[in-house]
Amino acid sequence: MSRPLKLISWNVNGLRSAARCGLLDWLGKEKPDILCLQETKADPGQVEEIVSRLSGYHVYFNSAKRKGYSGVATWTRAKPARVISGMGIPKFDEEGRVLITEFPSFALYNVYFPNGGRDLSRVPFKLEFYGELLRQLNARKQKGEHLVVCGDYNTAHKEIDLKNPKSNQGTSGFLPEEREWLDRYIKEGYMDVFRRFHPEPERYTWWSYMFNARARNIGWRIDYHLVSENSASRCVDAYHLPDVPGSDHCPVALIWK
């Protein structure tokens, strides 16, 4: 039997900034088989020096049309059979939010879900994105494909997933209509792997830069690996790496066989 794979997802809040904070040194020590990055905020041409220092990875980017905004990247030791950028919908794809890498036994979705905005103006866009992605995932799942959907979902699913649920009822990221979409993903056959292994509270993946929130662990869990239900037996473990610096998010890991 081949060894399990380590799949890590991390919203780096700027690839160049994370690199200055030691991302490549961390990568050399952690040695994931696949690293999915969100909010890279860079075109490939802007990070050539970073990419040139990588060893043993095939590197793929889907950058936003707007400079310094959004963007995802997947770095993988095994070369994918196919790489797909985006969902085929221009208004979503111009923001560089989806990168799909297909391997012989599964398809990996690296996704940076939209933020609804402080004024909630982007909530309709965000909910439409949730719906379209689910429609496309379901079409593949119905064919029996094994799917891993990782990234920054920009929503805390349950009250356990953030420190202060009562005071954030009207905040994007914890609105009822946003949480309902995660309910729907689960209901339609996608498993939240971390919660399978870790039902305990106060396990977060994002902390505000203000008010010493990270040191006080006043955070939100908004970064996930969801997998299609036919893949449950392939999930060996899932965990967070909250002590890794370089972003307001921490890396989240899935061990997959």
Instruction: Determine the average pLDDT of the residues in 6-21.
Output: 98
pLDDT for residue 140: 98
Q: Check residue 124 and give its pLDDT.
A: 98
At residue 1, does pLDDT exceed 70? Answer: no
Fold of 5-256: Deoxyribonuclease I; Chain A (3.60.10)
Predicted confidence band of residue 194 (pLDDT cuts 50, 70, 90):
very high
Which pTM does this prediction carry?
0.98
pLDDT value at residue 159: 98
Q: How far is Cα of residue 30 from the mean position of the Cα atoms in its chain?
A: 18
Cβ atoms of residues 98 and 62 within 8 Å: yes
Q: Where in the sequence numbering do the catalytic residues fall?
A: 152
Instruction: Provide the strand spans (E) within 57-212.
Output: 58-62, 72-76, 82-85, 98-103, 106-112, 147-152, 190-192, 206-207
Average pLDDT, stretch 52-72? 96
DSSP letters for 47-73 = SHHHHHT--S-EEEEE--SSTTS--EE
Structural domain boundaries in the chain: 5-256
* pLDDT of amino acid 209: 95
pLDDT confidence band for 154 (50 / 70 / 90) = very high
Report, as an integer, the average pLDDT of 59-76. 97
**If you average pLDDT over residues 113-117, what whole number do you get?**
98
B/e letters for 148-186, b = 16+ CB within 10 Å, e = fewer, are bbbbbbbbbbeeebbbeeeebeebbbbbeebbebbeebe
- Pick the closest to residue 164 from 115, 221, 243 (CA basis): 221
Cα radius of gyration (the chain): 17
Question: pLDDT-based confidence at 2, cuts 50/70/90?
Answer: confident
Instruction: Put the strands of the sheet holding 223-228 in their side by side order.
Output: 82-85, 98-103, 106-112, 147-152, 223-228, 190-192
Q: Model confidence over 222-237: pLDDT tens digits?
A: 999 999 999 999 999 9
